[in-house]
Structure 1
């Protein structure tokens, strides 16, 4: 705390007790300094930055600033050394009037983070105003017949200073006729009266000149004077007398014009015109009072003629003269003391400043958003203001100092739930009825990257026909990010992994912006039936957030593989031929050979049928082939007319569109029964073992194929349920239909169900039927290895529209 002397002198050393007081005030968030009024520009007030614990180097970066609601240019802070100094002339009387307390309230604010400190600078009064009388020359009239000790009230001087500087003492020039009587009444005011000590004789002394000097209690003392001219009258023995020397009145400040203030009553002991009294305001009454009060000259009633305002002036002292109509006229005096009573006629004021907006949604609790000050010009309870905030918002008001509040964050924010708040701050006073005012604050919530992109499903299933063109669009992925702007800009990328010996990026690619998935090369179902990979969606926030989704690409079959014949070991001939010995004694319906074939495709494309073609030199009508099993049997009994060597051509074709086919040659040798018996006995042992092995293989294959088919049916049912609940993301190609196949020992069954996924090419109308066809299983140990090299999934197909 710094104290300054009068004039240009200032105290340069601080008492230890005052330094301790300043340190305590800074710790509590409020500093107190003092400065004398009329101090010169640059006068030291206090080390604000040091007392607040702020480093000098951070004043400019943290936007250190000082603000005051009124006369903010009086004090200033040097940002280089953090010293508060006088910037312009401070006139305490202009700033606070005659108020006992006078101070300048400063708000010291810094940003990053926002902090506010309150500084009270007391303005000390100096004796810079001399006492002033209402007039420089005052003329009085005294009747020569006035008795001794007669009193005549005098208007005292006024001093704009306060305290000791306004404590006045009076001295009257020496006179043999009069002396000055000073009486102190309530409120530290004084009543001055001239008292007659010696009888007057107009014939000897017609006028008396006096000088009244008023001296204040300041150091140095200042004085004011008034010249009193007393004229001695030779008429009218009695002056009017009031029944009270002082009339005390209390009025509400909102009293209406014309309201009676007081009715004066004065009497005169004379008779006739010398007792007729006329009431008037004293000539000493200022014009500002004359504009608010009016007295009726005959009745003595004083009424309100102007608007009273407690906040402007709290009390009035009015001198009234009652004069008779004698010649010369005599007068009596009284004083009316009017005190105003405050009413709640001023609405609170709300001022919002230093907004730190927008606020991040991850801002910690207690973050200051705005500084709010409220005020009310009324007094007492009428001027006591309470502040409230819109209910049900994540903010609260924290009182910092007197009528100052901070708007702070009270609970967590989520921009994705509420992106902006409209707050209303309401200030309400304690009057009856209370008055209130409000101010609005728009608080925008700034986005933080706290939401990762999200896909509608954790997994997507796509069906693509094999042999698709390179670069074909097969699917479009879309992830939504609940954040805003850059935090919501999503980019897609492929999560690299190995598919066998190759990277997944050699099969598919993902467009970074659109999320479209493309097949980079033709897919081969016989090589890769299911391609499963992950796509990552990542936003552009900092740090970026991301999520993955799994994409299952099922490759649908096309009829691109012709049937392949399965010939026993040692089968030779052109293109390979099946040779069998047939006894001539066999009857009709005897199976003489069996053509076996497989197709690498699936579904209809792998469903094989057998057809016997005409062959040169063959026995006409003696043999036939089963449509689906490939078994060659006799249609009649053989005879001697039939050629010993029969050559049959069997056409094997699938049910694809278009159908693909292969031709098998069957060479039959017709022999006698003895030769056939020897040949069959030699092969019986090997055939029995082969049949047993084939039976075991068939059982295992049937169980495996049925299990895989059941899994596929479950997958398709789940996919259908998902597609019913959400619209599918489209590919660039047309519909197809799936076919499920389950083989058995007697043949195979398949059923097709119409679906609606996106695939790479169109199909004809959907099929829904039940059919049986050859399981196309090999015979003999040599075909088991071939079967193990082919995936079990070749025996069922999937085609969806």
Structure 2
């Protein structure tokens, strides 16, 4: 067959060749040939001449099939009358032969004809579905294969021979495998491990290509879903969470919310939170976490001073099988709040402090601390209240309490010192510590008497051991330094007795060493000792001992312990006193009185001096003031005597005490008669008493001693009433008796101070008419006055 012949020529040749071979007319036509395409020229095959085909009504008869070819009427050629589709006519059968009969009438003849419809590549490969969903576990190992359903091609032969290609993928490839079956096995092979969390779905295009000319292709989409495997642990969005919390944060406060995600799916991604570890372990009581939300909250009180930093290990665990976990850290820094007051402690205390301690002496060592930090922990200190102590900083947090002023235990025996501390927080807090600093005694004070000079009045004749006074010396020191002992200093103090001998003070008085009681060693005798001046010393028991002293002026107060004594007359023998008229009087000495015997002539005139006596009293002052009176018969005898002068005449107005009386009056006053005695630089001052009498008798009056001890006797005077004249004093003793002619007993007595003198104290010896005229008192008084004037004249003439 000529390679260059046209389609009709070739077909004819083919038909002819078939006819020759088999004796049967066979035509071949490609599918999808155009309508009108000549399949074969039947008249020629049948040996008909031109025109016979139409005349003899040459036609094609199909056997049960729709005619796709027909005989052209004029030419009698067999042409394509409708679309020929091999796949429709024959499917996958090969070859595709259509059997038909050619009918020729006049005469009727039937010729069998075979029409082969040849395949052309008019069908692309076709997959069963346009999209194929495939699920593959991400845990599948490389090399795993997953079967695929291949494409089909309606064509046959080479047009149906398919090959497959896959869109580029690093995880998958297409593998084909020949088997005993007519078709190849197609597989999707895994070349690299899958990661659902990286690519959860792979979308690939599978292409099937036939071997036709030109090649046709068909495609399908492979949607590969990677099934999750719990191959991912939960991951926190931060590996470290840093949180700052003030230490006064309230219970329940949110600390931080942690978050972990798991790229897995389903239960593999469900996360549960927990705190895996606490540093320090005490944090377990302060923090908890919500297992679902990851919120960490405070459930206790923070204390910066106890723990200032917490580290929490947080774990997020999924619910896969087996479960996987992720971890992170939460760092909690506690911020200081000024919630701690400064603390002051005493590390060393050296007390008591001697009062002679030098300035700068360290009394105590103190520690000052504040558990807060920064400004909250910076502390300043001072001593309150103001005291002799101050603070010196040794180094940070350590101070010395030192002495800054001299101490005086007698002024302040102990100090209550408060060391105060204040921090620099806002607001600031304070702390304090009290320190008691006792001051120990040093013997720096001598005993001191309450007065430099003590004036002591002591009655004479007191018993030995009688208490005279109590002396008190105070020593403000304490213990042995303030324990005082008393003694009478023998350094020259004493007195000269009336006998002329010198005796030390200790022979008269002594002082109790502990109590300061001054007592008499022996009875005192005013007539021997009137004034004793000595020194009493008070010595403490310190080392060395200190001494204080005081002067004691002891005045012996006269007691009426001596009776008046008659003196012998000048130039006469004992007991005999000459008197006027030549009459002699015998005086008999006694302890209390003297008895005088006198003879007087009967008829002696009234007022005549019968006798004159002299008497003395060893006592002093009032105790030596003598009074004369007639004892028997009391005012009824013929004798009378002047009460003080021994004369019913008056003394001269300018009378003064005699020197002997003045000497006796010094220091001779009863204690109960004493006024105010007070010590002074020159000795005690004494307010002496005043002796008064309210009597209306002519000899009544006042005795006014001067003020002050060591009295100048010249200043003593007797003051009488308006009508009184001067009276003889005790020193100038009465020495005359008036004896009118009858015997009488004359008593010489001491005149007590402040005594009242009434009319009974005067013994009047007058005329007999005086006793008979008692009712005429006024007249008798006037007569008496005249009588006394006469007696005064008589006595003056006698003297």
Structure having the higher Rg? 2
Q: TM-score, normalised by structure 2?
A: 0.46
